[in-house]
Structure 1
Amino acid sequence: MGCRFSADYQVQSMELSLLDESKRLLQFDLENICLENIQTCILIANLCASHGNPSSEALYFRIGNSMAQIMRLNSPTSTGSIVEREIERRVWWSLFMADRWCSSGIGLPRQIKDLGGNIDLPMDESVFHSLPQHLTRHEGTWKPGLWAHMISLVQHFGPIQDLNRQSAQGCFDGWELDRTAAELSQKLDLWEKMLPTDAKETEQNFRFHQAKGTGGPFVALHLGYHHYSTLLYFRYLEARNSLTELGETCVSRCKHHASAYSALLRMARETEGCEAVYPTVGHMAVVSSSVLLHTLLFGDENELTNARRDLNSNFAALMELKQYWANTASMISRLVTFQNVCLLSAEYTHRLDGWMVRFLIEHSLPLADKTLQTVPSGIEMNTDSLSIRAQELQQQGRYTNFELSGKRIVTENNIVRTKLINNETTPLQVGNGNFAFGVDTTGMQSYLPFNTMSVWAWHNDTEPEGAPVDAYTGVPKLTHGRNVSYDIPDPNLPDVSQWLIGNPNRINLGRIGLRYKDATLAADQISNTHQELDLWSGVITSTFTVDGTKVKVVTQADFDSDAVTFEIESKLIDSGKLKVEFDFPYPPIHTTKYKYEVFVGVYDFPANHTTKQVRGSKKDTAHIYHDLGTKYYVNLRWPNKTPLELKRLESEDSTAITAHRYILSPDDGSTISFTAHFSPEKRVPDLPSTIKKRNSAEWHEYWKRGGFVDLTASTNPNATELQRRIVTSQYHVRVNSAATGESPQESGLMNNGWYGKFHMEMVVWHNAHWVSWGRDKFFHNIFPALYEKLLPTSFARAEGMGWEGARWPKMTETITGRSSPGGINAYLLWQQPHPMYMAMLAYKSQPTRKTLKRWDPILEASADYMASYAWYNESSGKYDLGPPSIGVTENTPAAATLNLAYEVAYWRYGLDVAREWKKKLGLPVPKHWTTVAKNLAKPTQIDGLYAVYDGLNASWWQDPALTRDPRSLIMLQGILPDTPAVDEKVARRTADKVWEVWTDQNIRGWGRPILAINSARIGNPKRAIYHLTAYDYWKFDDAGFAIRGGDGGTPPPFMPGNAGFLLAVAYMAEGWDGSKGDAPGFPKDDGWVVKHEGLRKAL
């Protein structure tokens, strides 16, 4: 060991040979269990660590541990001299501390229990050094030394390690983790408080111990304290954990200890006799630096100067340690890897997962890169530029200059309304993808009963009288020589068929509005309105006057729960005239009249459901219980400083229309602030202040992560409106289309369309944009869980119809997985290959074996069905699809429709993907898949152009029933990736023909996005941008919601319009697999300047 620190090169060069000789001698004498051999094990273990050999380090420490336990060094003894007993004691505790570090460093369990036996702690260092060698009894007062304090400190290290591992593994819920962290925090505080005065960390004590010759142990003691504290509080650096009062305190403490570690290490390096040059100092400096990087990335401006100074100081210390310990290079490498991960995505930065535990604790093992997208070009770290680039990163924003321009662009497109809206207007919303709250001009649901909706809130109507629901078994149709039962309405069971179509249906969880002078606030009492949705922070601020008095309402939703908060300010509150009103609707019987519900539920049947007030467990809480078959609570909470009282307007047995109304009001004051949380369980929700912080932080993260498109430098007059649609669409899909394990209904969480159910054929249009915009988290929240939920019923459906595999439903929900009966629904085909398309997006996002394995059962089930469904045509020698079948545009006669062009091409693509998927996994490909794929009928051509389906002649181009919506043909060369089934030249000619016959007046729904994508793909960017900017035909309302248009029967919004629009924009800006050049879908002239970042190429 001395060779390593010698200034003489010849002495240095002897280290390895002496180490080898020491190992040989130890092995020769290994069965001689004695103190000298234990000390030799300790020295060899440290040398192995210095050479980057953690396995050997662990081996020699464990040999030493075993010897020490055999010698019972952990048991008090009175034999031998005081010096001998103290040496034995110190050897034992050396092993104890090494066991904490070495075991964790390599991921092994600890050998020595936390209490370390009953052995006494080491005595004061100065007393020990002054003891006569053969003294058997010490007459003076015994007192602990710095080593003793270090041992009492290191006993907290194990529980902190365990907490971090359990947190990463999800063993505890957030409450339990917070409780445990608080307990450990108290223990660390108590340890520091109980230190003797001369052992506390002060500059005076630092100088005292330097002069005394104990500067090194003093520094080591407090470096350890700061390191363990940093580890304890590290998990709170993640944004979602930092928003509570405890979280804010822990973030502050984590930053303090990381900075204090750096300051003490810097002071020690500058002071002779206090140097800290042992290897673990390097790892601790790396952990400190990771926190300093967090400050550089996300800290306040006033924190940056000190963070840069401390980070540079840590890096200098690491470079100094590298002279003595070769393994310091791996520590530096770990820090570089960590920094690169920070640059990838805020979603992963400082998240305490398994990878982070390896970084923080398992310091002796190599640290692999996280499985994330590639680091943006030009910002990879290297050890020579680490601190400089960290400073640049803070100045530039997370990826480029988005921090400077993005917020400005988003807020410039805030939604502002200055007039009273009516029931023909889409409300503004706050929400989180699983929950949404729609508001009228008051920022609540006062004069318009807009909806409060959640993904879990469903209801079944009373079953029809007569035949039971299970009497429905479908309607048989002759299909290639056999009867197959299809899910179409049974004319013999009309009521049952309609019940299956309309049930279950989504419910409105309740109305929360304002009450004025003992009546619901009416529109004609409101004037001077101004309402603004701050898109950057997800906050709606509404101001207006009621009878000449100003009212202000601030509305926000929670990102972690189904909760909404309100802050209401007005002198009318203090006078007792303005209060909050709750009311609860009941679902009607869902006949076709209620296929679409702008206002979900009715208030005309108070006797059909019950509500009651439930006392809260605290003075700042109250609960309303609602039972309409579906049972849930509205959990209320308000700040203690502004107490509120909840009262029921009517008695519980009232049958009046107002029977389920409740009033919330203060005793005094001009403010009402509260949280309303909707849940099947009675809970205590977070306070409005906590939700406010969390909501804003999460929205900021949403805008910062993922893609962005900036058109503000464009001079084209259409750029401003296109930029507005780009920004507002991103807000709306986050609120309406980001549920967990569920695809959205076509009207999102705003109202009910198609009874609240979603459509499996639309999953690509709803969800593909998440991957294209680099917001992978939301895609993976939905898939493949959605298919996994529906797999059992889809297997049963295919089996019942006589096919293999899984036949996916058309219109459905995840509660029953039932395919709603429909004359179109039962024959639609194009949802069947969607799993292959979505799996390819998943693999593009996460190209790992884990992705392949997770999706494989779904693709296998899909391919089994697709190969089974195709029937062999002996006349043509090909496999055909249908009849009966109905295509994408739902305008073909089912009984006569054979080999739909898009569907057969998509079928081939899907089977090819499934085959390649098996190959990537190293699994055999079912022979039938290959046979069907290679012999599948190709899309029909007539006069060099594709036709919608087989059996048509050239006159079909004059048939308005088909040309009113021929979008399926342009999908062949656009959204569908290249496949052998499609001839590129024919597809291009067909696309041109479609554009001639498909007039602007007939294009609706997601037609514009598919036209834009097709136009970009075939090399016509002028046509592509035309379709995205045909504002006279493709309407987005003042809130930025896409209007479906066309048949006039669907109230807005039309979420596949917004989501499909985003997919098209990303397609045009970033391109697709095989595209060349920047922004290939935008014209290079006409005043378009397209800046973009964070997007991903489409398939």
Structure 2
Amino acid sequence: MHSQYTAIDRKSLVRRHNVEQRSLDPRSPVTVGNGEFCFTVDLTGLQSFPAAYPVGARGELPPGTLLGTQSQWGWHSVPPDGDYRLDDSVVLYDSPRGPVPYVDMAGGMVDGEETWTSPSEAWLRANPHRLDLGRIGFALSGSNAGPLDDEDILGPCQALDLWTGTVTSSFTFRGHPVSVTTACHPRRDELGIRVESSALREGLGISFAFPYGSEAWHDAADWSHPEAHTTALLELPGDGTCRRWLIHRELDASGYQVAVTGAGVELISTGPHELLLRAAGGQDVLDVAVHFISTGQGDCLLRGGAAHGKGESGSGTSATAMPGTAVVEASRAYWPDFWKSGGAVELAGTDDPRAAELERRIVLSQYLTAINCAGSLPPQETGLVCNSWRGRFHLEMHWWHAAHFAHWNRTTLLLPALRWYGSILERAGQTARSQGFDGVRWPKQVGPDGRESPSTIGTFLVWQQPHPIHLAELAYRAEPSRELLEEFAGIVFETAEFMASFSHPTVRGFELGPPLVPAQESYEAMRGAVTNPTFELAYWQWALRVASSWRSRLGLEPREHWRAVADGLVRPKVIDGTYAAIGVEPFTIRTDHPSMLCALGVLPLTDLIDPEIMRATLAGVLTDWDWDSTWGWDYPVMAMTAARMDDPEAAVDALLLDAAKNTVLPNGHNRQTDPLPLYLPGNGGLLAAVALMAAGWDGGPDRHAPGFPPDWTVVWEGLVKAP
């Protein structure tokens, strides 16, 4: 049972967790996508009511919307008012090796909100930002021209069929039954939309609206500056049955195109950035394909390549697009193959009533991470649904988005974003050299170019540093090959060079920091004094030893300095029999991430960690941690630690703990707050934890599903054992 495939009926497993809705849930729209491009829809199957699905306001800004149209290549920068440079935010911090320059920020963060920053810092934090590529929703033409009112939609019924990746929506509009099918092409940034209704004869059509880019924290669309961008419509020669149009979009140095193809349709401009698609000749079917295409201009250009990693480019230059039904059929062909590949976990035979909910979360998390986190860039924390942190991605979160792909034997979904690190090697090397270190220092909050953002936290974090080593090692464990070792050796070795260089020798051993902000960011204000966080020490040792094993696998001479640092790191601080978060006072603040637990949970056992002390640390966290301040991936952390502590009951309890940040909506998203309405690290973390609990880990108990209670019936196949 540990390794061979069993008789899981994957189609039944997946489809019993289809998302079905009959009323508007403003928190829980559904999305179609392919890892490079996503389109999120309301109950009409399009984006007809964006205000009904709000992303909570951030500061003085109005709400955004969950109904986004986003891609990995769609980025924009507002032209700066001056010569804004990171060098203007550099501050010298004392360190054991002397003053070290760090990109800081004049303002800071208070209760999650940015305080005052200089114009330079504000621009550098907000640019480039991810674009909302356009809004596609139902609208009326003729004498009643304009958007629909949600009160006009009666008897809605919508289903996201996970097995085929398609959304079917039905409702009655002014007495006319309407049926809508929506899908995304698996290998192109293209939507297929099919509408069937007699209402099409009465003026019901599909509107296209295009915004300017937004520097707002939470909103990818700015509708208040129509003069700042252009939208031009050009009809192309048809093929006899279909008409074709190309919409040209230009926003400062960014640009893209939208190709629209359909039979028996007409597309007309109704405003500077608005168009209306309607059925021609009294038809009651509207079948259209909408293909979003990067023109490779300015900030839209991904120097590392924008290919889907699925055999076809996501940013091609051809305006040819298939009719909508063909896109739907491509989706229906692709998704069953996805579900039949890789791992599967079934809990239906378990009597515990929590098993059904956990199985639902597992299945939906696989779908959501596949469409949001499997692209050519590390994803933002809200994926391709809506913006958070202006669409910029956080490299310390990359493990949580992507590690599970290797655990679930879908390594091909992990590799494209891992390759992106190679595109910023030079920039990351410059950062390391400017601070007097060897190798490469990976940034934290970035866009496609890898340029750091001014921050009182991000530039001081180090726990993202070992992630590329960890992810590459997981990929190798899942699919070992010399080709993979050779491809990622440069990233692994340069990462390790910085780690060894960053560790400084003392009479006690090699130490980390100051300055430093640990994974538990509660110590931001004392970043100039923080040393030796428990998780980072263990991560440093484990990752340096993994990097050494890569040299051995490739037949290369060992790097003695790596070994010396790994063997000589100081032990983490222990207070009253439990691990402290950091090595200096106040040692542990009981808010935010209980990151000490990662040192034996996310990581396997290392020389630095005592399992019994970690057992007591876990018990202390479960007793009195401030759950309101936690984040969605903290619950999988506790589960992984509990599993490795041979406490499967606590592992399941942690995954399903009743806490606000552990909420999983009907659509499968892990909700955090109104401004952060979904959080994909929670989904990815859950999948990593479940894989460990089911398939086990090196040196773990020799029994089936060792991380689950013995009275649970856990059927699994295709998973990869954790380190």
Could you say whether these structures have the same fold, taking a TM-score greater than 0.5 normalized by the shorter chain as the test?
yes
Q: Give CA deviations for 1:578-634 in whole Å, capped at 9, x if unaligned.
A: 11111101123x2xxx2122xx21222211111111121215211111111221111
Alignment of 1:795-834 (within 5 A): 795-814=429-448, 816-834=449-467
Paired residue type of 2:7: N
Indicate yes or no: 2:89 matched with 1:483: no
Distance 1:972 1:675, change over 3 A: same
* Residue in structure 2 matched with residue 612 of structure 1 by the alignment: 232
- Which structure shows the higher strand fraction? 2
Paired residue type of 1:670: D
Paired residue type of 1:779: L
In 2, the alpha carbon distance for the partners of 1:736 and 1:835 equals 19
2:671 to 1043, 1065, 1079: 1043
Alignment of 1:113-128 (within 5 A): none
1:789 to 423, 447, 461: 423
Indicate yes or no: 2:682 matched with 1:1065: no
Paired residue type of 1:822: S
Secondary structure (helix, strand or coil) at the match of 2:424 reads helix
> 1:756 Cα shift?
0.6
Secondary structure (helix, strand or coil) at the match of 2:521 reads coil
Equivalent pairs counted in the alignment come to: 667
In 1, the alpha carbon distance for the partners of 2:511 and 2:97 equals 14
Secondary structure (helix, strand or coil) at the match of 1:624 reads strand
* Residue in structure 2 matched with residue 916 of structure 1 by the alignment: 549
Paired residues of 2:520 and 2:594 also in contact (CA < 8 A)? yes
Indicate yes or no: 2:468 matched with 1:835: yes
In 2, the alpha carbon distance for the partners of 1:879 and 1:1008 equals 31
Q: Give CA deviations for 1:209-263 in whole Å, capped at 9, x if unaligned.
A: xxxxxxxxxxxxxxxxxxxxxxxxxxxxxxxxxxxxxxxxxxxxxxxxxxxxxxx
> 1:376 Cα shift?
6.3
Paired residue type of 2:270: L
* Residue in structure 2 matched with residue 671 of structure 1 by the alignment: 285
* Residue in structure 2 matched with residue 628 of structure 1 by the alignment: 251
In 2, the alpha carbon distance for the partners of 1:410 and 1:481 equals 55
> 1:852 Cα shift?
2.1
Indicate yes or no: 2:98 matched with 1:463: no
| Identical-pair percentage | 33
* Residue in structure 1 matched with residue 679 of structure 2 by the alignment: 1054
Paired residues of 1:666 and 1:672 also in contact (CA < 8 A)? no
Paired residues of 2:533 and 2:581 also in contact (CA < 8 A)? yes
1:1020 to 644, 647, 651: 647
Indicate yes or no: 2:521 matched with 1:890: yes
Indicate yes or no: 2:136 matched with 1:505: no
Secondary structure (helix, strand or coil) at the match of 2:357 reads helix
* Residue in structure 1 matched with residue 584 of structure 2 by the alignment: 951
Alignment of 1:560-709 (within 5 A): 560-575=187-202, 577-588=203-214, 590=215, 594-597=216-219, 600-618=220-238, 619-629=242-252, 630-639=254-263, 643-650=264-271, 659-680=273-294, 681-709=317-345
In 2, the alpha carbon distance for the partners of 1:1000 and 1:729 equals 22
Distance 1:844 1:567, change over 3 A: same
Alignment of 1:1068-1087 (within 5 A): 1068-1075=693-700, 1076-1085=702-711
Paired residues of 2:343 and 2:716 also in contact (CA < 8 A)? yes
> 1:856 Cα shift?
1.7
Q: Give CA deviations for 1:532-575 in whole Å, capped at 9, x if unaligned.
A: 11111111111111112211111011001000011111111123
In 1, the alpha carbon distance for the partners of 2:117 and 2:596 equals 37
In 1, the alpha carbon distance for the partners of 2:191 and 2:593 equals 44
Structure 2, unpaired ranges of 5+? 51-64, 108-115, 295-316
* Residue in structure 1 matched with residue 45 of structure 2 by the alignment: 443
Paired residues of 1:635 and 1:685 also in contact (CA < 8 A)? yes
Paired residues of 1:606 and 1:660 also in contact (CA < 8 A)? no
* Residue in structure 2 matched with residue 24 of structure 1 by the alignment: none
Secondary structure (helix, strand or coil) at the match of 2:671 reads coil
Paired residue type of 2:235: R
Q: Give CA deviations for 1:771-804 in whole Å, capped at 9, x if unaligned.
A: 1111121122332x02212211100111111111
In 1, the alpha carbon distance for the partners of 2:343 and 2:355 equals 18
In 2, the alpha carbon distance for the partners of 1:421 and 1:966 equals 30
Distance 1:1011 1:456, change over 3 A: same
Distance 1:609 1:693, change over 3 A: same
Alignment of 1:835-874 (within 5 A): 835-873=468-506
2:69 to 452, 460, 468: 452
Distance 1:921 1:627, change over 3 A: same
> 1:932 Cα shift?
2.0
> 1:988 Cα shift?
2.2
Q: Return the TM-score normalized by structure 1.
A: 0.59
Distance 1:966 1:1032, change over 3 A: closer
In 1, the alpha carbon distance for the partners of 2:415 and 2:438 equals 27
Secondary structure (helix, strand or coil) at the match of 2:635 reads helix
Paired residue type of 1:753: S
* Residue in structure 1 matched with residue 7 of structure 2 by the alignment: 401
2:15 to 411, 431, 439: 411
In 2, the alpha carbon distance for the partners of 1:631 and 1:965 equals 40
* Residue in structure 2 matched with residue 296 of structure 1 by the alignment: none
Q: Give CA deviations for 1:1034-1074 in whole Å, capped at 9, x if unaligned.
A: 21111111113xxx464221000111111111111111112
Which stretch has the larger CA shift, 1053-1062 or 479-488? 479-488
In 1, the alpha carbon distance for the partners of 2:553 and 2:370 equals 34
Alignment of 1:502-581 (within 5 A): 502-516=126-140, 517-575=144-202, 577-581=203-207
Paired residue type of 1:1029: L
Paired residues of 1:747 and 1:1054 also in contact (CA < 8 A)? yes
Q: Give CA deviations for 1:278-315 in whole Å, capped at 9, x if unaligned.
A: xxxxxxxxxxxxxxxxxxxxxxxxxxxxxxxxxxxxxx
* Residue in structure 2 matched with residue 104 of structure 1 by the alignment: none
> 1:966 Cα shift?
5.4
1:713 to 349, 364, 375: 349
Distance 1:1068 1:617, change over 3 A: same
Paired residues of 2:89 and 2:121 also in contact (CA < 8 A)? no
Paired residue type of 1:533: L
In 1, the alpha carbon distance for the partners of 2:466 and 2:102 equals 19
Secondary structure (helix, strand or coil) at the match of 1:436 reads strand
In 1, the alpha carbon distance for the partners of 2:502 and 2:393 equals 24
Which stretch has the larger CA shift, 505-514 or 1028-1037? 1028-1037
Indicate yes or no: 2:403 matched with 1:768: yes
Paired residues of 1:426 and 1:1052 also in contact (CA < 8 A)? no
Paired residue type of 2:230: T
Q: Give CA deviations for 1:499-539 in whole Å, capped at 9, x if unaligned.
A: 11111000011111111231111212212111111111111
* Residue in structure 1 matched with residue 28 of structure 2 by the alignment: 426
In 2, the alpha carbon distance for the partners of 1:804 and 1:663 equals 57
* Residue in structure 1 matched with residue 62 of structure 2 by the alignment: none
Paired residue type of 1:453: Q
Q: Alignment RMSD, CA only? A: 2.0
Indicate yes or no: 2:370 matched with 1:734: yes
Indicate yes or no: 2:482 matched with 1:880: no
* Residue in structure 2 matched with residue 108 of structure 1 by the alignment: none
Q: Give CA deviations for 1:175-200 in whole Å, capped at 9, x if unaligned.
A: xxxxxxxxxxxxxxxxxxxxxxxxxx
In 2, the alpha carbon distance for the partners of 1:660 and 1:637 equals 17
* Residue in structure 2 matched with residue 926 of structure 1 by the alignment: 559
> 1:434 Cα shift?
0.5
Secondary structure (helix, strand or coil) at the match of 1:649 reads strand
* Residue in structure 1 matched with residue 56 of structure 2 by the alignment: none
4+ aligned runs moved over 4 Å, structure 1: 374-377, 490-493, 999-1002
Paired residue type of 2:10: G
Distance 1:706 1:543, change over 3 A: same
In 1, the alpha carbon distance for the partners of 2:147 and 2:611 equals 62
Paired residues of 2:194 and 2:325 also in contact (CA < 8 A)? no
Q: RCO higher in 1 or 2 (8 Å CA, sep ≥ 6)? A: 2
Paired residue type of 2:680: M
Work out which of the two has the higher radius of gyration on C-alpha atoms and give 1 or 2: 1
Distance 1:966 1:454, change over 3 A: closer
